[in-house]
Amino acid sequence: AQVAEQGLAKLKEAVDTIIIIPNDRLLAVVNNKTPMNAAFALADEVLRQGVQGISELITVPGLINLDFADVKTIMEKGGTALMAIGVGNGDKRALEAAQRAVTSELLDISIEGAKGILFNVTGGPDLTLHEVNEAAAIVQEAAHPEANIIFGAVVDPELDDELHITVVATGFDDSAPVARANIREFPVKTVSSNDIDIPAFLRRR
């Protein structure tokens, strides 16, 4: 552990943003019969999906497009960061995906208190503005009240009932990240049909 901490300290000196997935967290998401290689593959898969989700914001034409400058705004000098993936199905897929993304069990810090948020919503051709708004509300509720939130939305024709959300959160106080034990639940708020058109922070973009 000491060697890992020393290596991490040196790495922080050379990078803008660093995402840590502690091996100990794997015990929370696998059973006692899961082979070691399969357990470590879960952590690799989070990183793979996260990188793919963020790169798609730039490279894949979407409903709401971002560019490299947007990614740089959130990740430059971001310090310790969180990257998580959430997947949902069915009528409440947006809420499920957002909740899973902001409370990833593989990460030992939570999104709560993050001052920089970059997230991507990917759905099939039936992706609705209501769903994007629902997901955005959960992420916004979890973050710092003054967080800079940048997001995109992409339609993937190959997705049927699934909705994917990728979240990268930065701007934590590295000296006191929010521990997993202190993560709170984010209640789903009932939204009037007159208020679901466009999230407030999106209108400011």
Angstrom CA distances, 205 to 46, 64, 120, 155, 180, stand at 29, 11, 16, 20, 32
Angle between helices 129-142 and 93-102 (to 10 degrees): 20
Q: Out of 63-77, 80-94, 100-114, 182-196, pick the least confident.
A: 182-196
**pLDDT tens figures, 145-158:** 888 998 888 888 88
- Which pLDDT belongs to residue 163? 95
Compute the mean pLDDT over every residue in the chain, rounded to the nearest whole number: 78
Q: Which domain holds residue 40?
A: 2-203
What pLDDT score does 108 carry? 60
The structural domain count of the chain equals 1
CA distance 44 to 33: 19
pLDDT at 203: 44
Sequence-distant (≥ 6) Cβ neighbours of residue 27 within 8 angstroms: none
Beta bridge partners of 155: 123
CATH of residue 114's domain is 3.30.1330.20
Helix (H, G, I), strand (E, B) or coil at 79: strand
**Looking at 2-11, 56-65, 82-91, which range is the least confident one?**
56-65
21-56 pLDDT, tens digit per residue, is 777 777 777 788 889 888 888 778 877 877 777 777
